[in-house]
Structure 1
Amino acid sequence: MKAIVYDRFGAARDVLSLQEIEAPRPGSGEVTVDLVFSGINPSDVKARAGTRPGVTKPPFPQVIPHSDGAGVISAVGDGVNAERIGERVWIWNGQWRRAYGTAANQITLPQDQAVVLPDNVSFETGAILGIPGLTAAFTVFSGGDVAGKTVLIQGGAGTVGLLAVQLAKWGGAKVIATARGAGAERAREAGADAVIDYADADLAARILAANSGQPVDRIVEVEFGKNIATDTEVIAENGTICAYGSALEMEPVFPFYPLLFKAVTIEIALIYLLSESERTATIKRLTRALSEGALNCPVERVFPLADCAAAHEAVEAGNRAGAILLSTD
């Protein structure tokens, strides 16, 4: 099979190469998926660049990057129902603690990591579900239903944030999002009831005003460190702040006392490490939303497999209006 590989950290154009390697055969409990698209996330480019603290070399002699993808099951191992052959699926954790990810023609992995893709959902959307889709669904619904509640989505125009806006609205919540410029319009089109510029000097007051002066029940947070003061001010008693990022401030000052006297739950979400029960519930919720046509997953650009380095550079550049994908078939 053709695959993008690297064996050392560095700039995309320096370390990524297209090679022909032998496709692993499915073992017991495994399936082989003929991939159509591979999704590229910021975590993929950071892993290739070697920017994770304390990590000095790749964990395997040869790595095929990317954890997300979508395609069709072409072979199954022992213990897997042969009727799964021909099934349209999307992939999660394709390259998490594994050497071979989705930047290839095929991937072989445990069958539970190949989830049925509803017939009404495109392969492009399927390639976005593993990290952005599951992160959005978990951060919105980890505490249960949100019907009748107010959910604040900080960063409502990003790949995760835009999906979180749609999911929260589908779940029956009042949705307030922060975004600016063209991103603000995207968040509105996704269903946000109010969109506020995240750089507003009176951001907390504006958020409260958008909720008729009342605090919000739940916050989906992309920049925990930078926004914790605002979040503390606007969160309701017994509310939850579910954070999946804090890139701009990795060592935040934590206002414990004000949060204590609101009995706020702080939840840190790393989608790679969901428990089995959490992942099952999140996949079920996400699948239902997809089946009901509740999600639009925008794609910024699709690159051919051979141009993987350019695709990584597009992710690193940021300022995107959608996901970056590789065409892998």
Structure 2
Amino acid sequence: MKALVQDQIGSPLDVVELRDIPEPQPGPGQTLVRMVAAGIHPGDFFFTQGLYPEAKRPQLPGQVVGNHGVGRVVSGGTLAAGTLVAFSAGRVWAEYAAIDTQALIPLPDDYPIDRAAQLMPAITARDLLTTSEVQAGQWLAVTAGHSLVSSLLIQMARRRGVRVVAVVRRRIAGRDLEALGAEAVIALAELDVPLADAVRAVTGGAGLNGVADAVGGEVLTQLLDALTFRGRAVIVGAYDPEPFKTTALRVLMELQEIRAYVYRYFFAPPPPEDADYLKSVLDELADPAVVVPIADRHRLEDFRTALEETAARPEAGKRVLVFD
């Protein structure tokens, strides 16, 4: 079968290769899945560079890459052959994958494939909104506003009455975050005042009750400065490797919180009690009124273009690897 494989640590642009390798044989507790689609996510870049915790680092040489996808059951496990499933797992950028049976999330047979491939970003967006604890009428800052997770988060927040400030590097023609539900969009390239001051201006001096941040560095420093009493910042990404700053006294006296978030099913498969939660996310993701920006679809043979475009223009929309 064809698969995307790495033999050494590094950027996927440098270390991922297309190869023919043997089809995986499912072991005990695994199901063989024929891949249908897989989104390319920031976590895939972290993975190939060995930046994840030890238990989630590449096993070299010959590591098949890719973390999240959608496919159809071939054999093994308890689900009928042909069942459409989504999953967070490793070794999925290949024509077939052996997946922990417990990790499989069954989908309706007619579920839109492009959206099924974005289930994990949708779960992340929902979890960020919940973890921030921002209530209806309060303000939430969302960085990397053009990313898929942030775009979904903005829409989910609007549906729940949460007021959103979207922070982007620059405005992009054809990407209207106000139409998605952001009450204000702050483009860093256009700022002539500190970001914290711009946030206070657009919130009428109210400041932020929460931050969902994928950037870090000075952007997070400024947003923490605009965080209110009992405000909470949730860190989900790290585009900027520079440190962010706050003071222990401010965190202490303002009862602020800074939390980390990783994929909900990063270390363990979905427990049975998550069934209602997953159905809720799937239903919202399938709603035609929810905008899911997809930049393009790529065959495995075109993986390099997909990776290069993801790295150079992530704000353009998701790149999806397709196998059918």
Fold match by TM threshold 0.5: yes
Partner of 1:76: 76
Question: Which of 137, 140, 143 lines up with 1:151 in the alignment?
Answer: 140
- The answer for unaligned runs of 5 or more in structure 1 is 96-100
Partner of 1:327: 322
Residues 13 and 307 in structure 2, CA contact (< 8 A), matched pair in contact too: no
Give per-residue Cα distances to partners, 1:266-299, cap 9 Å, x unaligned.
Answer: 111122347967x938645522422444532211
Partner of 1:98: none
Give per-residue Cα distances to partners, 1:23-75, cap 9 Å, x unaligned.
Answer: 23334433222211122123323433567799xx9423311111121122222
Residue 255 of structure 1 deviates from its aligned partner by 2.2
The letter of the residue matching 1:313 is E
Partner of 1:86: 82
Question: Which of 245, 250, 256 lines up with 2:248 in the alignment?
Answer: 256
Partner of 1:241: 233
SS of the aligned residue for 1:103 comes to coil
The letter of the residue matching 2:118 is I
The letter of the residue matching 1:129 is L
CA 1:46/1:301 → structure 2, altered by over 3 Å: closer, same or farther?
A: same
Question: Which of 92, 105, 108 lines up with 2:98 in the alignment?
Answer: 108
Question: Which of 166, 182, 192 lines up with 2:182 in the alignment?
Answer: 192
CA 1:104/1:224 → structure 2, altered by over 3 Å: closer, same or farther?
A: same
Structure-2 separation of matches of 1:232 and 1:323? 29
What TM-score does the superposition give when structure 1 sets the normalisation length?
0.83
Question: Which of 296, 309, 317 lines up with 2:304 in the alignment?
Answer: 309
Structure-2 separation of matches of 1:89 and 1:3? 19
Residues 40 and 315 in structure 1, CA contact (< 8 A), matched pair in contact too: yes
Question: Which of 174, 191, 209 lines up with 2:163 in the alignment?
Answer: 174
Aligned length: 317
Identity of aligned residues (%): 24
Residue 133 of structure 1 deviates from its aligned partner by 2.6
The letter of the residue matching 2:172 is A
CA 1:76/1:164 → structure 2, altered by over 3 Å: closer, same or farther?
A: same
Residues 170 and 294 in structure 1, CA contact (< 8 A), matched pair in contact too: no
Structure-2 separation of matches of 1:218 and 1:249? 22
Residues 118 and 291 in structure 1, CA contact (< 8 A), matched pair in contact too: no
Structure-2 separation of matches of 1:215 and 1:144? 15
CA 1:73/1:145 → structure 2, altered by over 3 Å: closer, same or farther?
A: farther
The letter of the residue matching 1:65 is V
Residue 86 of structure 1 deviates from its aligned partner by 2.5
Residues 196 and 226 in structure 2, CA contact (< 8 A), matched pair in contact too: yes
Partner of 1:24: 24
Structure-2 separation of matches of 1:310 and 1:185? 22
Partner of 2:48: 48
Structure-2 separation of matches of 1:177 and 1:225? 17
Partner of 2:118: 128
Structure-1 separation of matches of 2:249 and 2:164? 27
Residue 14 of structure 1 deviates from its aligned partner by 5.9
Structure-1 separation of matches of 2:257 and 2:96? 41
| Worse-matched range after superposition: 310-319 or 298-307 | 310-319
The letter of the residue matching 2:145 is G
Residue 305 of structure 1 deviates from its aligned partner by 0.7
Give per-residue Cα distances to partners, 1:205-264, cap 9 Å, x unaligned.
Answer: 332232232122211111232223322232221121111123324433332222222101
CA 1:153/1:118 → structure 2, altered by over 3 Å: closer, same or farther?
A: farther
1:318 matched to 2:313: yes
Give per-residue Cα distances to partners, 1:64-103, cap 9 Å, x unaligned.
Answer: 11112112222233xx2x4x433222221x22xxxxx111
Structure-2 separation of matches of 1:323 and 1:293? 17
Partner of 2:293: 298
SS of the aligned residue for 1:228 comes to helix
- The answer for unaligned runs of 5 or more in structure 2 is none
Give per-residue Cα distances to partners, 1:141-181, cap 9 Å, x unaligned.
Answer: 12557434322112211222112111212233122211232
The letter of the residue matching 1:176 is V
Structure-2 separation of matches of 1:259 and 1:69? 39
Residues 284 and 290 in structure 2, CA contact (< 8 A), matched pair in contact too: yes
